[in-house]
Amino acid sequence: MASANVLGPELVESEQSSGRADGSERSAFWWYLARKIITALISLFVVLVIGFVLFTIMPQNPIESIARASGKPMDAAQLAALRKSLGLDEPIWQRFGIYVWHSITLHLGYSYGYNQSVASLVLPRIGPTLLLTGSSTLISIVLGLWLGSKAGWRPGRWLDRIASGTSLVFWSVPTFWLGLILLIVLGTGVGPIPTLFPSGGMTTPGFSGGPVGTVLDVAWHLALPCLTLVLVVFAQYVTIMRSSLVDELGSPYLLTARAKGLRDDDVLRKHALPNALLPTVTVIFLQIGGLISGAITVETVFSWPGLGLLTYDALKIPDLELLQGTFVMFSASIIAMNLVADLLYRVIDPRVRAQ
Amino acid sequence: MTATTQAPSRVINRGTPPRTQALRNFSAAYVRNAWGMIGLVVLLAFTIMALTAPLWIHDSDLSAAAATGPLLAPPQHGYPLGTDQPGRSVLLLLIYGSRPSLAIGVIATIATVVIGAAIGLIAGHYQGMVSNILMRVTDWFIALPGLPLAISLSVVLGQGPVSITVAIAITSWTGAARLVRAQTLAVEARPYIERARALGAGNTQIMIRHVLPNVMPLILVSSTLTVAGAILSETTLTFLGLGNPTDVSWGSMINQAFTQGAVTAGAWWYVLPPGLAIVVVVLGFTLVGRAVEAILNPRMVNR
Amino acid sequence: MSLLAVEDLAVTYQTGGDDVRAVRGVDFSLEPGQTLGIAGESGSGKSTTVLSLLRLLPASASVTGTVRFKGEDLAQAKWSRIRAVRWAEASVVFQGAMSALNPVRTIGEQIREPILLHEKVGEREARARTADLLDSVGVSAQRAAAYPHELSGGQRQRVMIAMALACKPELIIADEPTTALDVIVQAQILGLLTDLVAESSIGMIMISHDLSVLSSVCDRLAVMYAGKIIEIGPSKQLITEPQHPYTKALAGAFPTIGDPASRLAPSGLAGDPPDLRGDLVGCPFEPRCPVSMDQCKTTEVTLWPAGPERESACLRVLP
């Protein structure tokens, strides 16, 4: 073809710009991963430092508070022995070193309030909290992204206004209060509304219906706390999805897609949404912190036996060792989610992958 | 040269200093924003209510020991919102309870904004290593879980409004810091800052007299939204029992309802009003914040 | 029968308060294998005119007039028919240097998309055709798996052209295809377009604000101002002997490659185009016209014959 000659130099350039072979892109990824993991570990270390400062350095009278937590009267000799065993008179650096070592090896301390190791208290609570936060997040994502994409595709129309208005209102609602209202209306029943859901806990005491029955029982108990979290959180997802989509609306590639003869739905699904989802997904992961805070209050209100309820019980005593344990657990999960968000963005956005 | 002339959108009065003129333009634009006005009216109403409450609500109304009403009774004559367990009028508690929430919300926000703006300003101005270190620290704070940190701080510092305020400030300053830093960088890129430097202006002078006034509108917007969040945080912490036990506040009312069985008794009149009040006040601040943002930054209007 | 015959096309944008009449009565026609260039400033209505042919304007735009494409009036056709015509019979080459390509899809996918949509072929054949198309525009077929950001501006424009040819259309609309490219790449792209059009006798409408680009590629040229065509005729003639003062100014503003004298005498045009919100009385160009007369302010101007196959909307061409 005649045009090929004119394009000679350009062809060579195109070979060059395709640049690296596959291997180099993959090794770039590993470097990226390593960098991000190191940053995450540093964050974790900083968290440990802050925890140390908070729970070991700041408290004025650790011995008294332990004595109070344990609820048993102690004489001077016992207090002195306690002091020695906790190493309170050792130099700070030594204590910090021991603390870090213990944290890494998951010796999270001893709870005097419950008279057992913090780790043994924390571990069984992880499951229920994961169940609650996991199911809420999943439902919120599906609901939020669906509503947000409908609202964002036609901004200014009534669906958009209603969605935005609802999101605004739900953002302003305190999670614990919403939970209580749902508990009163649907849990204990008010006026003509009967008790539809249990008023607390994860399982019905004394229930023995086999595996399927247990699953249903748990699900029945999960309904209200999950609903509370979903209502508060999905509003945020609607907002993010909507604004990401609105950002894409003026983009030229959407006009190209329409010019190709695609139907409106297909332009949204195949072109606008994949682009709008990129920032949305990462923001969702970065907002996990808010979800965790919500979980604490929701578990408290519904007596859901997770890490949140444990935190609440610990702060009532107050049991500093236990609080420290939950603090570290929550921080670690947020750091982990931030790491996932970073990695996810790199994986799903082809423009970032090149770096 | 053009076929038509366009009427100016604002009347320019020669002779008024530019800042006053800017304020007038802003007020004129704000009044036209319906939702913003609704938010403002709501906030004014609550502020007036909170400030005048001590004038007509007496200690006897608030004291559990001196209460004379029926115990945990639904709304009825004389008690429009019913009574709580000791027999106090829920309505009076509600009105008086606005004070701690609003006070702590505003004070915590001031602290948040001062810390955040200071850090952001310094990081944006000095750049280089100082900025890197400050931004790293900010990133670490962002990685900390908000509520657990606030709870831990409150416990360690001892219960009460002071520790709650400190806890909120420590968990919220990062947002303001990032915002102010970005804006500082933008402002300092402008040529007149170079001119000021060439004329011998020192660091503090540049930051305070040149950058700060430009950053103020942004801080204003972010503050209103911060107050909204601070009030939510305060009520959450109080609900969890970290406030002063004798203080009457919205959070403590809901806490009482929860811990002393009003919920299982189905006493919705005790639980509903404080929460609704929180929602309305938070919405008020949010609407005002968004209105201000829409006016100062018209590009963002369609979001 | 003409490939395309446009009669009295008018487009009004209804935005909030005011109506903006962006296109105010445009007529032109195109035969198969012919190229028509449309030139004008930003805001003259050229993009709006051309996008309205395939009803690609936003919902706030109301379009009146007749757009006869192969005898069928597209302005009255049903949406399903428009979607079928789009790309398969008439396609568009947008400015690929900007983000007219979806950043998160490979260019191969984007070229295959209209093929799979409009024709009953399988994935394999679509891939094969994509490879052929990329070859025909001078992009290595291996690049089909690349993302738009991995290509240079010139390569992206070629991809846009390959994509536009995917369903073998009879009409191609090129909207500022070379505007963001440097001069050398620009020449290559224009050469490519000329060759492709000649080989397949496709009708082409090209839009640009650069007269010299249009004159090198197009047989005929139309100049638009304030929503109307103010001069139309064979392109070489129009450039060397412009009859309308606006065309004269435009022709002076761009140096012709190969004519050193023209680089020394560019003439800019002072003033701004008129506000399109109201009615315009008299000649819309009058306020900026260096040779305007009193009658120009009040007399309605329309296209009058100004030479062989030439028309100009200026009072001065009247005998």
Of A19-28, A245-254, B41-50, C89-98, the one with minimum mean pLDDT is: A19-28
Residues of B in contact with A342 (CB under 8 A): none
Minimum CA–CA partner of C270 in chain B: B1
CA torsion sign for C234, C240, C244, C248 is positive
Distance of alpha carbon C283 from alpha carbon C280, whole angstroms: 8
With tokens 């000095």, the residue in question is B126
Task: State yes or no: pLDDT of A5 exceeds 60.
Answer: no
Distance of alpha carbon A298 from alpha carbon C94, whole angstroms: 53
Distance of alpha carbon B269 from alpha carbon B86, whole angstroms: 14
DSSP character string of A237-276: HHHHHHHHHHHHTT-HHHHHHHHTT--HHHIIIIIIHHHH
pLDDT at position A6: 39
Task: Report the residue from A14, A252, A257 with minimal CB separation from C140.
Answer: A14
Dihedral angle at the C-alpha atoms of B264, B265, B269, B271, nearest 10 degrees? -20
Contact B61, B89 (CB under 8 A): yes
Top-confidence residue, A83 or A167: A167
pLDDT at position B47: 93
Contact B46, B284 (CB under 8 A): yes
Residue A295's Cβ-side half-sphere holds a number of Cα atoms within 13 Å equal to: 31
Q: How confident is the model at residue A12 (pLDDT cuts 50, 70, 90)?
A: very low
Q: Tens digit of pLDDT for each residue in C14-34?
A: 877 788 888 988 999 998 888
Distance of alpha carbon B52 from alpha carbon B99, whole angstroms: 10
| Contact between chains at B274 and A177 (C-beta distance less than 8 A) | yes
pLDDT at position B5: 44
Tokens of A336: 């982990």
pLDDT at position B14: 58
- Contact residues, A window 258-297, toward C, CB-based 8 Å cutoff: 258-263, 270-271, 274-275, 278
Residue C71 Cα distances to C6, C11, C169, C200, angstroms? 11, 21, 16, 21
- pTM of the predicted model as reported, rounded to 2 decimal places: 0.79
| Contact between chains at C278 and B1 (C-beta distance less than 8 A) | no
Q: How confident is the model at residue B262 (pLDDT cuts 50, 70, 90)?
A: confident
Q: Tens digit of pLDDT for each residue in A152-163?
A: 888 888 888 888
Of A129-138, B269-278, C106-115, C185-194, the one with minimum mean pLDDT is: C185-194
Cα B16 off chain centre by = 32
pLDDT at position A9: 38
Helix spans in A21-157 (H): 22-52, 62-70, 76-85, 92-104, 118-153
Does C245 lie at the interface with A, CB-CB under 8 angstroms?
no
| Contact between chains at A47 and B147 (C-beta distance less than 8 A) | no
Does C63 lie at the interface with A, CB-CB under 8 angstroms?
no
Give A296 to chain B, closest Cα distance, Å: 8
Residue B303 Cα distances to A91, A268, C164, angstroms? 55, 18, 34
Q: How confident is the model at residue A290 (pLDDT cuts 50, 70, 90)?
A: confident
Top-confidence residue, B103 or C98: B103
DSSP character string of B47-72: HHHHHHHHHH--HHHH-STT--SPTT
Q: Tens digit of pLDDT for each residue in C166-200?
A: 999 999 999 888 877 888 888 888 888 888 888 88
Contact C8, C14 (CB under 8 A): no
| Contact between chains at B1 and C284 (C-beta distance less than 8 A) | no
pLDDT at position B9: 47
Tokens of C300: 């309605």
Beta bridge partners, C203, equal C171
Q: What is the CA radius of gyration of chain B?
A: 24
Cα A157 off chain centre by = 32
Contact B85, B98 (CB under 8 A): no
Residues of C in contact with A244 (CB under 8 A): none
Query: How many contacts (CB atoms, under 8 Å) link A and C?
Result: 112
Quote the DSSP letter at residue C256: P
pLDDT at position C127: 92
DSSP helix/strand/coil, C200: helix
Describe the crossing of helices A210-248 and A273-286 by its angle, rounded to 10 degrees.
120
Task: Report the residue from B1, B4, B6 with minimal CB separation from C271.
Answer: B1
Contact C151, C159 (CB under 8 A): yes
Task: State yes or no: pLDDT of B225 exceeds 60.
Answer: yes
Query: How many contacts (CB atoms, under 8 Å) link B and C?
Result: 20
- Contact residues, A window 125-184, toward B, CB-based 8 Å cutoff: 155-156, 168-169, 171-178, 180-181, 183-184
| Contact between chains at C117 and A260 (C-beta distance less than 8 A) | yes
Task: Report the residue from C54, C101, C143 with minimal CB separation from A253.
Answer: C101
Length of chain A in residues, anyone? 355
Q: Tens digit of pLDDT for each residue in C209-265?
A: 888 888 888 999 999 988 889 899 998 888 888 888 888 888 776 556 666 655 554
Task: State yes or no: pLDDT of A14 exceeds 70.
Answer: no
Minimum CA–CA partner of A333 in chain B: B145
Tokens of C53: 């042919």
| Contact between chains at C100 and A253 (C-beta distance less than 8 A) | yes
Of A190-199, B153-162, C1-10, the one with minimum mean pLDDT is: A190-199
| Contact between chains at B271 and A316 (C-beta distance less than 8 A) | no
* Burial class (CB within 10 angstroms; exposed 0-12, middle 13-18, buried 19+) of C183: exposed
Strand bridging mode C203-208 / C35-39: parallel
Contact B239, B255 (CB under 8 A): yes
Tokens of A221: 């108990």
DSSP helix/strand/coil, A117: strand
Residue C187 Cα distances to A229, C190, C240, C273, angstroms? 60, 5, 21, 30
pLDDT at position A193: 62
Q: How confident is the model at residue B197 (pLDDT cuts 50, 70, 90)?
A: confident
| Contact between chains at C280 and B2 (C-beta distance less than 8 A) | no
Residues of C in contact with A271 (CB under 8 A): 102, 105
pLDDT at position A132: 92
Give C249 to chain A, closest Cα distance, Å: 31
Minimum CA–CA partner of A267 in chain C: C102
Task: Report the residue from A10, A18, A349 with minimal CB separation from C104.
Answer: A349
Of B181-195, B269-283, C114-128, the one with minimum mean pLDDT is: B181-195
Give B195 to chain A, closest Cα distance, Å: 37
Task: Report the residue from C272, C280, C284 with minimal CB separation from B1.
Answer: C272
Task: State yes or no: pLDDT of A18 exceeds 90.
Answer: no
Find the angle CA(A20)-CA(A22)-CA(A26) to the nearest 5 degrees: 105
Task: State yes or no: pLDDT of B34 exceeds 70.
Answer: yes
Distance of alpha carbon C164 from alpha carbon C173, whole angstroms: 9
Distance of alpha carbon A277 from alpha carbon A265, whole angstroms: 16
Q: How confident is the model at residue B1 (pLDDT cuts 50, 70, 90)?
A: very low
Does B236 lie at the interface with A, CB-CB under 8 angstroms?
yes
Minimum CA–CA partner of B154 in chain A: A315
Quote the percentage of chain B above a pLDDT of 70. Answer: 91
| Contact between chains at B278 and A177 (C-beta distance less than 8 A) | yes
Tokens of C245: 């003062």
Quote the DSSP letter at residue A154: S
Tokens of C279: 């009615």
Q: Which of B282, B273, B230 is closest to A170 using CA atoms? A: B282
Does B266 lie at the interface with A, CB-CB under 8 angstroms?
yes
Q: What is the mean pLDDT of chain C?
A: 86
Minimum CA–CA partner of A355 in chain C: C150
Minimum CA–CA partner of A323 in chain B: B152
DSSP helix/strand/coil, C5: strand
Strand bridging mode C220-225 / C171-175: unpaired
Contact B293, B228 (CB under 8 A): no
Residue A111's H or E segment, with its range, is strand A110-111
Q: What is the mean pLDDT of chain A?
A: 80
Tokens of C298: 């009040």
CA torsion sign for A35, A36, A38, A39 is positive
Quote the percentage of chain B above a pLDDT of 90. Answer: 22
Task: Report the residue from B152, B236, B254 with minimal CB separation from A327.
Answer: B152
DSSP helix/strand/coil, C12: strand
| Contact between chains at C275 and B3 (C-beta distance less than 8 A) | yes
Give A288 to chain B, closest Cα distance, Å: 9
Task: State yes or no: pLDDT of A89 exceeds 80.
Answer: no
Top-confidence residue, A267 or B294: A267
Minimum CA–CA partner of A16 in chain C: C151
Mean pLDDT of A8-24: 42
Beta bridge partners, C229, equal C224
| Contact between chains at A172 and B278 (C-beta distance less than 8 A) | yes
| Contact between chains at C287 and B2 (C-beta distance less than 8 A) | yes
Mean pLDDT of B161-183: 88
With tokens 């009312």, the residue in question is B253
Task: Report the residue from A183, A290, A311 with minimal CB separation from B148.
Answer: A311
pLDDT at position B8: 45
DSSP helix/strand/coil, B238: helix
Q: Tens digit of pLDDT for each residue in A200-210?
A: 777 777 767 77
- Contacting chains of C (3 CB pairs or more, <8 Å) are A, B
Top-confidence residue, A53 or B12: A53
pLDDT at position A24: 63
Cis peptide before A318 (omega within 30 of 0): yes
Residue C316 Cα distances to A22, B196, C214, C253, C303, angstroms? 66, 57, 25, 22, 12
Task: Report the residue from A3, A260, A349 with minimal CB separation from C138.
Answer: A3
pLDDT at position A344: 81
Q: What is the mean pLDDT of chain B?
A: 82
Q: Which of C114, C125, C210 is closest to C162 using CA atoms? A: C114
Distance of alpha carbon A234 from alpha carbon B113, whole angstroms: 28
The separation between the first and the last C-alpha atoms of chain A, rounded to the nearest angstrom, is: 37
ipTM score for this prediction? 0.87
Does B249 lie at the interface with A, CB-CB under 8 angstroms?
no
- Contact residues, B window 124-153, toward A, CB-based 8 Å cutoff: 139-140, 143-149, 151-153
Give B289 to chain A, closest Cα distance, Å: 12
DSSP helix/strand/coil, B98: helix
Minimum CA–CA partner of C271 in chain B: B1
Of A41-45, A103-107, C105-109, C152-156, the one with minimum mean pLDDT is: A103-107
Distance of alpha carbon B173 from alpha carbon B112, whole angstroms: 5
Distance of alpha carbon B124 from alpha carbon B219, whole angstroms: 15
Residues of B in contact with C271 (CB under 8 A): 1-2
Distance of alpha carbon C90 from alpha carbon A284, whole angstroms: 42
Q: Tens digit of pLDDT for each residue in C114-152?
A: 999 999 889 999 999 999 999 888 888 888 899 998 888
Residues of C in contact with B4 (CB under 8 A): 274-275, 277-278
Top-confidence residue, A4 or C77: C77
Q: Which of C15, C269, C275, C296 to mutate to test the interface with B (most CBs of B within 10 A)?
A: C275
Residues of A in contact with B303 (CB under 8 A): 243, 246
